[in-house]
Amino acid sequence: MKCTICIGSSCHLKGSRQIVEQLQYLVKENHLEDKVELGGTFCMGNCVNGVNVTLDDKLYSLSPETTKDFFDKEILAKVQ
């Protein structure tokens, strides 16, 4: 599964960096390195809803506070 986080300037201001760091940590902690591919992308043209994250082409709107939840529900629950 491929998870792409927007690191454009607007999303960056809303905490995309923390989100990337959290996801990297969670992926590692759960030993999902070979199942989940994390990546970054520049502005997705949807700044108002940022931080924008896509998971296999499905768009999600995250904040650092909702990242753990997103990981548990959308990633962890689906790869196991």
Question: If binding is defined by CB under 6 A, does position 8 make contact with ligand FES?
Answer: yes
Cross-sheet strand order for the sheet of 2-6? 37-41, 2-6, 52-55, 58-61
- Cα–Cα distance measured from residue 70 to residue 73, given in angstroms and rounded to the nearest whole number: 5
Q: Write each residue from 33 to 72 as x if it is in contact with ligand FES (CB under 6 A), else as -, in one continuous string.
A: ----------xxxxx--x-x--------------------
Residue with tokens 């491929």, as numbered in its chain: 2
For residue 47 the two structure tokens come to: 């700044």
Q: Which position's Cβ is nearest ligand FES?
A: 8
- Considering only 10, 18, 63, 66, the residue that binds ligand FES (CB under 6 A) is 10
Binding site for ligand FES (CB under 6 A): 6, 8-11, 43-47, 50, 52
